[in-house]
Structure 1
Amino acid sequence: MSQVGHPTARALMRRLAVEQAECRVPSLTAAIVRDGRTAWFGGRGRVGDAPPTAATQYRIGSITKSMVAVVVMRLRDEGALDLTDPLEAHLPGTPFGQASIAQLLSHTAGLTAEPPTAWWERTPGIPGGDLLARLGPGELKHRPGRRFHYSNLGFALLGRLIARHRGTGWLQALRTEVLDPLGMHDTTARPRAPHATGYAVHPWADVVLAEPEHDADAMGPAGQLWSTPHDLARWAAFLGGDTGGVLCGDTLAEMREPAGVADGDTWTGGYGLGLQLARTGGRRLAGHTGSMPGFLATVWAEPGEGVGVLFMANTTAGLGGRLLTDLLDILDEHEPRLPDEWRPVPADPRLLALTGLWHWGPTPYALRLLPDGGLSLEPVNGGGRASRFVPQDDGTWLGLDGYYAGETLRVAADHLDVNTFIFTREPYDPAAPVPGGVTGWHA
């Protein structure tokens, strides 16, 4: 399965072997995806009497949430709901129906982390109706929108929302709309052979204890699924942009935008719409971690570099936090990605005439024509407000990112109007309609 050279594969396998041995993991698998294809797979330890393979199932825990979120976003794209809709509009009767769909997806709805049941990860689940009947005002811990507070209960409610719209269970909707189209046929609600048994490893002795595994029922959307390294590699490719028609690229990019952060202004960990986000070592990663009794898993994609990485293990705790980024660093060191070849592309002469120097007051900006036909407006000195724009049918341009995301750019003969801000060819050009007028430069 390896698409990397032997020295690279050896270095990657050694890093995996060190993690499995030093962290005392019964079995551990990992894979790297590059440009939508599995570039390397490794497995250490034993599942039964054999090493784990790319077809061995592990429980993936909360990675389930990211897949459920895709179905919710499909409902949004179809017009069945709006992300600003209150939960009450689609699932009436809960005591916190004022929380929005977007807040549930981003864990900013203020709901309790765990449901009002016994420890749900280690006990048989209860039906959805019974779970809803147990909910009261006490399950709302924070004002909706106030802060990030991870909530397994929130995704159980999103599963109910999917069932109400699709007329079938959340799992069937997920299989029909996401898993089967992506070819993830070995991602299932219950284990199938060959699968790893979930273990807890004793902290002071080299012995293990088998963890229980049950159908989580109503809590299933929060962490029910099992998968394989092969299937999870396909999911990594999906997160990186190879959506296979399951979701449009713009919607996936929206899911990867930070909606809540876990550690303040200089955040390194955050959450988008159903996706965890991380910034580490110059990397911007999107994906999800997963934890259930006896199992740990994580999948990350780095869309800007066209890579993804994952691990799956059958241990309750104990892995270090750097395995996946170390694997990516090894790949970069041994087989760095070559930049795409530059090639000239045709340009509309009218757009070409717009390029060059513009000024917002006295500040020079560069307007560039992008290969895809969009425009980039950014300060010449590299600081300040930079945004990209895409053309609209009415002749205006829509901001994609930065300060002007969602705002409108209008092009006139002698100026640009970016949501009332006037850009001119010369600093404060007196011939342009600069609000407040221009008195002229003087010493």
Structure 2
Amino acid sequence: MTTTQEALLPGTRRALLHRIAVAQAEGRAPSLVAAVVRDGQTVWHGARTSVDGHGPDESVQYRIGSITKTFTAVLVMRLRDEGLLDLADPLEKHLPGTGVGEATIAELLAHTAGLAAESPAPWWERTPGSLRPELSDVLGEQPLLHPVGRRHHYSNPGYTVLGALVEELRGAPWEEVLRNEVLEPLGLHRTSGQPVPPHAGGWAVHPWADAMLPEPLEDLGRMAPAGQLWSTTGDLARFAVFLARGDDRVLSGESVREMRTPAAPAEAADVLDGVTYGLGMQIQRQGGRLLVGHSGSLPGFLANLTISVEDDVAAVVLANCTSGLLLGAVGADLVRIVAEAEPRIPDPWRPLREVDPAVLDLVGQWYWGTHAFGLRATADGLLSLAPLAGGGRRARFRANGDGTWTGLEGYYAGELLRPVRRADGSLSHLDLGSFVFTRQPYDPEAAVPGGVDPEGWRGIG
């Protein structure tokens, strides 16, 4: 018996349903809705209990809280890719007079700008945004709690500042820019700043009684870029595909990969959990699996978006309660269930379209000192360097068109791989960021730094 690439097996579907059923029952959520994405398609949707008398489907809106920050980060990265700013630019260059102008754009994206976690009282998530009409009202009299660039300290006002930056450089409101540049191109028609029916209501569940209290649904005003959006599992599933693969109408695959790359140190309390932050995305290693995405919460709502790029599986989980559920754990479990029950089928091996003799001259076994490596040319036009045994530095390299190659990841990201040839044109060695790789361990005929003992290899007698 065979199944289509898109379909999940009945056992997998039941395991997913069981997981969200346990979460909804034990977390006492009025409703919970979830979706799983694989191979770029939504392959499962599940829901527990009801919204307005019917089971929530992939089109019912929930408030997604801080997942909004990832959308705001996409807008900032678009400005960078268009050359309107550099991530190393201080904020003051583009948005003067904030009082936090020494912080760079990258530091604001990664929550390392030293800003306070919250806006000054009253509690901004539960009060009208009209109480904070100006950026100065959001930042307060003492916006910096830590030295700029020294530590990761999650900051909601920091993303309000980034939203103001987008408005300054685009000359239009943040939500209008978001709709024109991200939501419409990606087909996220059920994502909006204000709720559009059908949508869930936000509830607080009494911690010691099975009773509920409606939460206020406030317009966050200036704080909108940090947490305003409403969305659905259907839209967030499409957004997850974009964050894993990129879309040239919005951001390239290389730019979304940059967003998923750690840009901030882990907080001391998170070191053991392997939790860190990229550019608008949370990053965590759990059970040997690298997970990226973002969580969100506002009074009455919890949200989570979890992606395993390596497994090509993502999960979206939304609930309408203030607390009681750990949706990050639920999302990670949904990804794990699919990844382990139905491991990703690798793409077929295919040969190179064209064989370049100069590239074939490079491949094979190389030694850095006494460490053996293999250099392989792959069908995607890259070179892949990896240890022949055990762990060690590995990376892929992209051709620069002049005989050199640039590292794409890991220790060698951005480093230059340069083949060095003898006077007769034959290949002598590889220079990789000043490291010399030779065909034999410490090859005496290559330019090994420090030279090679003329007596060569020997034993002890």
Please give the TM-score of this superposition, normalised by the length of structure 2.
0.92
Q: Which residue in the other structure is 1:420 paired with?
A: 434
Residue 305 of structure 2 is aligned to residue 308 of structure 1: no
Cα distance in 1, alignment partners of residues 452 and 398 from structure 2: 31
Cα distance in 2, alignment partners of residues 363 and 374 from structure 1: 22
Cα distance in 2, alignment partners of residues 363 and 13 from structure 1: 48
Q: Which residue in the other structure is 1:364 paired with?
A: 372
Q: Deviations over 1:390-430 (max 9, x none)?
A: 11133211111122211111112211111222211122222
Q: Which residue in the other structure is 2:8 paired with?
A: 4
**In 1, are the aligned partners of 2:246 and 2:255 still within 8 Å (CA)?**
no
Cα distance in 2, alignment partners of residues 6 and 265 from structure 1: 38
Shift of residue 51, structure 1, vs aligned partner: 1.2
AA aligned to 2:344 is R
AA aligned to 1:228 is T
Farther-moved stretch of structure 1 (297-306 vs 259-268): 259-268
Shift of residue 357, structure 1, vs aligned partner: 1.3
Cα distance in 2, alignment partners of residues 370 and 85 from structure 1: 37
Cα distance in 2, alignment partners of residues 200 and 270 from structure 1: 29
Shift of residue 379, structure 1, vs aligned partner: 2.6
Q: Deviations over 1:368-400 (max 9, x none)?
A: 112211112233233333222111133211111
Residue 393 of structure 2 is aligned to residue 379 of structure 1: no
Cα distance in 2, alignment partners of residues 179 and 17 from structure 1: 31
AA aligned to 1:271 is Y
Cα distance in 1, alignment partners of residues 138 and 31 from structure 2: 38
Identify which of 144, 152, 159 aligns with 1:155.
159
**In 2, are the aligned partners of 1:128 and 1:160 still within 8 Å (CA)?**
no
Identify if the C-alpha distance between structure 1 residues 136 and 337 changes in structure 2 by more than 3 Å, giving closer, same or farther.
Answer: closer
Identify which of 28, 32, 38 aligns with 2:32.
28
Cα distance in 2, alignment partners of residues 136 and 54 from structure 1: 39
**In 1, are the aligned partners of 2:313 and 2:339 still within 8 Å (CA)?**
no
**In 2, are the aligned partners of 1:95 and 1:136 still within 8 Å (CA)?**
no
SS, match of residue 53 in structure 2? coil
Segments of 5+ residues of structure 1 without an aligned counterpart are none
Identify if the C-alpha distance between structure 1 residues 420 and 335 changes in structure 2 by more than 3 Å, giving closer, same or farther.
Answer: closer
Residue 447 of structure 2 is aligned to residue 433 of structure 1: yes
**In 2, are the aligned partners of 1:239 and 1:303 still within 8 Å (CA)?**
no
Q: Which residue in the other structure is 1:100 paired with?
A: 104
AA aligned to 2:289 is R
Segments of 5+ residues of structure 2 without an aligned counterpart are 1-5, 421-426
Farther-moved stretch of structure 1 (196-205 vs 254-263): 254-263
Identify which of 285, 297, 301 aligns with 1:291.
297
Identify if the C-alpha distance between structure 1 residues 45 and 155 changes in structure 2 by more than 3 Å, giving closer, same or farther.
Answer: same
Farther-moved stretch of structure 1 (344-353 vs 129-138): 129-138
**In 2, are the aligned partners of 1:422 and 1:434 still within 8 Å (CA)?**
yes
Shift of residue 360, structure 1, vs aligned partner: 1.6
Farther-moved stretch of structure 1 (314-323 vs 68-77): 314-323
Farther-moved stretch of structure 1 (340-349 vs 314-323): 340-349
Shift of residue 37, structure 1, vs aligned partner: 0.7
**In 2, are the aligned partners of 1:181 and 1:244 still within 8 Å (CA)?**
no
SS, match of residue 301 in structure 1? strand
Shift of residue 243, structure 1, vs aligned partner: 2.6
Identify which of 418, 431, 440 aligns with 1:410.
418
In the TM superposition, structure 1's runs of 4+ consecutive aligned residues that sit over 4 Å from their partners are: 263-267
Residue 180 of structure 2 is aligned to residue 197 of structure 1: no
Identify which of 392, 410, 415 aligns with 2:400.
392
Identify if the C-alpha distance between structure 1 residues 293 and 274 changes in structure 2 by more than 3 Å, giving closer, same or farther.
Answer: same
Cα distance in 1, alignment partners of residues 370 and 406 from structure 2: 24
Identify if the C-alpha distance between structure 1 residues 312 and 264 changes in structure 2 by more than 3 Å, giving closer, same or farther.
Answer: closer
**In 1, are the aligned partners of 2:138 and 2:223 still within 8 Å (CA)?**
no
Shift of residue 35, structure 1, vs aligned partner: 0.9
**In 2, are the aligned partners of 1:239 and 1:286 still within 8 Å (CA)?**
no
**In 2, are the aligned partners of 1:238 and 1:244 still within 8 Å (CA)?**
no
Superposition CA RMSD, Å: 1.8
Farther-moved stretch of structure 1 (146-155 vs 244-253): 244-253
AA aligned to 2:149 is G
SS, match of residue 359 in structure 1? strand
Q: Deviations over 1:14-39 (max 9, x none)?
A: 22222112211100000000111110
- How many pairs were matched up? 442
Q: Deviations over 1:33-85 (max 9, x none)?
A: 01111100011111121111111110000000001100100000000000000
Cα distance in 1, alignment partners of residues 253 and 106 from structure 2: 18
Q: Which residue in the other structure is 1:341 paired with?
A: 348
AA aligned to 1:124 is P
Shift of residue 163, structure 1, vs aligned partner: 0.2
Shift of residue 135, structure 1, vs aligned partner: 3.8
Cα distance in 2, alignment partners of residues 284 and 93 from structure 1: 39
Identify if the C-alpha distance between structure 1 residues 8 and 265 changes in structure 2 by more than 3 Å, giving closer, same or farther.
Answer: closer
Cα distance in 2, alignment partners of residues 121 and 49 from structure 1: 27
Cα distance in 2, alignment partners of residues 21 and 173 from structure 1: 39
Identify if the C-alpha distance between structure 1 residues 181 and 137 changes in structure 2 by more than 3 Å, giving closer, same or farther.
Answer: same
Please give the TM-score of this superposition, normalised by the length of structure 1.
0.95
Shift of residue 342, structure 1, vs aligned partner: 2.2
Pairs within 5 Å for 1:72-87: 72-87=76-91
Shift of residue 435, structure 1, vs aligned partner: 2.6
SS, match of residue 56 in structure 1? coil
**In 2, are the aligned partners of 1:182 and 1:244 still within 8 Å (CA)?**
no
Residue 21 of structure 2 is aligned to residue 17 of structure 1: yes
